[in-house]
Structure formats: C-alpha cells, structure tokens
Amino acid sequence: MDAFLKRATADHARLAELATAAGAKGAGKFYEKHGWTCVEQRFSKDGMATSIYHRYLQ
C-alpha cells in the first residue's frame, strides 16, 4: 500500500479510491487504521455489499 500511495502522490494524484467487501468480510478496519475514510456503501453488480474508501493525497 505504501508503494502505491507514494507512486500516486508522485504522479500528482489528489485522491486514492478502493473498494472492499462490507462488514466483517472486508478489510475496512485495516484501511481505516491506515488513514482511509469510508465514503459510500453500495452493492456490486453481483450483489455483494461493498464499502468505498477514499484517501486524500498531498
């Protein structure tokens, strides 16, 4: 994750976005501990509940 965020920052990205399974099946708690914020919950095309996370880059 650190390498991705460094690369995105070097490429002047302002925002990183990811999706993970919602609830206990997902990695949301992990990402929250690393500075990501859940901005939306929705269902994928196959019906799986997902959480969308954002992290603003500097």
For residue 31, what are the domain limits?
Answer: 2-56
Mean pLDDT confidence for 50-55: 98
User: Domains in the chain: how many in total?
Assistant: 1
Q: What is the pLDDT of residues 13-35, one digit of tens each?
A: 999 999 999 999 999 999 999 99
Predicted pLDDT at 38: 98
Q: Does 54 score more than 90 pLDDT?
A: yes
Mean pLDDT of all residues belonging to the chain:
96
Predicted pLDDT at 58: 81
Span between the terminal Cα atoms of the chain, in Å:
16
